[in-house]
């Protein structure tokens, strides 16, 4: 069995159709990691788990808005305490299309990590303005050059990991907590020698709700790559 880990904060409008779309695949379970959403996201997940998806949908409740990176780490640890042989990560806002889950799953047959990529042939973005396109492309290029990563979409957050990858990563040492978490995980994965396959996806802007992106998240990503590079050179990664 395989698990989808999905962090949430104020995703009540999206979560029920997302749960239905993910759990339409009988080979998947789903863990929602909710950061005490004031809109009742967690309560709705509880209801769905009890009434419609018992034994397949689970909720990990946290005490407050603790960040994307720590939410994924908590979800990964939860999965490793159980018998899942692969773990997916994806957003709750439908910017990641659940219909792509089988293609990521298929890619794990030949790779250790399958990354849904906007920046390989066949991939792309939808409903983005020029500024966001430049920021995303530039950010990926910046991280790739400094870290020497052979991954085109280093900030992509739609991924599938073999269990062995998560077992090998020092999850307690992961230092980033915003969208730079994806950069750090890619870097640590490649430093361990694991194979990353990029699967083309179309990334659509969220259909309802507000974006979580802000200036602090961008600044964290800019500084993180140098911290990772320096730690690696000193053998302290």
Mean pLDDT, 10 residues at a time, the chain of 237 residues: 98 98 98 98 98 98 94 98 98 97 98 97 88 76 87 94 98 85 94 97 72 57 73 68
Quote the CA–CA distance of 81 and 28 in Å, as a whole number. Answer: 17
pLDDT for res 119: 94
pLDDT for res 216: 60
Q: What is the pTM of this model?
A: 0.90
**DSSP, residue by residue, the chain:** -EEEEEEESS-HHHHHHHHHHHTTSTTEEEEEEE---TTSHHHHHHHHHHHT-TTTEEEEE-SS---HHHHHHHHHHHHHTTT-SEEEE--SSSSS-GGGHHHHHHHTTT-SEEEEESSSTT-EEES--HHHHHHHHHHHHHHHHHHT---S-TT---EEEEHHHHHHS-GGG----STHHHHHHHHHHHHTT--EEEEE-EEEPPSSS-----HHHHHHHHHHHHHHHHHHHTT--
Give the dihedral sign, CA 115/211/176/36. negative
pLDDT for res 112: 98
What ranges do the domains of the chain cover?
A: 2-233
Assigned CATH topology for domain 2-233: Spore Coat Polysaccharide Biosynthesis Protein SpsA; Chain A (3.90.550)
Tokens of 196: 């990353």
Bridge-based pairing of strands 113-117 and 124-126 is unpaired
pLDDT for res 211: 52
């Amino acid at each position: 069995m395989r698990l989808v880990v999905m962090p949430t904060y104020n995703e009540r409008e999206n979560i029920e159709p997302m749960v239905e779309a993910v759990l339409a695949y009988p080979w998947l379970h789903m863990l929602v990691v909710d950061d005490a959403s004031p809109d009742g996201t967690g309560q709705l997940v509880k209801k769905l788990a009890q009434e419609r998806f018992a034994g397949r949908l689970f909720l990990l409740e946290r005490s407050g808005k603790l960040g994307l990176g720590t939410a994924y780490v908590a979800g990964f640890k939860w999965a490793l305490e159980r018998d899942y042989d692969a773990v997916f990560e994806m957003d709750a806002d439908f910017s990641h299309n659940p219909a792509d889950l089988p293609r990521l799953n298929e890619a794990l047959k030949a790779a250790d990590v399958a990354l849904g990529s906007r920046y390989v042939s066949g991939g792309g973005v939808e409903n983005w303005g020029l500024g966001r396109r430049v920021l995303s492309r530039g950010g990926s290029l910046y991280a790739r050059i400094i870290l020497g990563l052979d991954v085109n979409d280093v900030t992509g957050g739609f991924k599938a990991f073999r269990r062995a990858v998560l077992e090998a990563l020092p999850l307690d040492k992961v230092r980033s907590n915003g969208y730079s978490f994806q950069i750090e995980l890619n870097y640590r994965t490649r430093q361990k020698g694991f194979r990353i396959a990029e699967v083309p996806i179309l990334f659509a802007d969220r259909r309802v709700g507000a974006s979580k992106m802000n200036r602090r998240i961008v600044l964290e990503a800019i500084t993180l790559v140098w911290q990772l590079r320096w730690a690696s050179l000193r053998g302290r990664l």
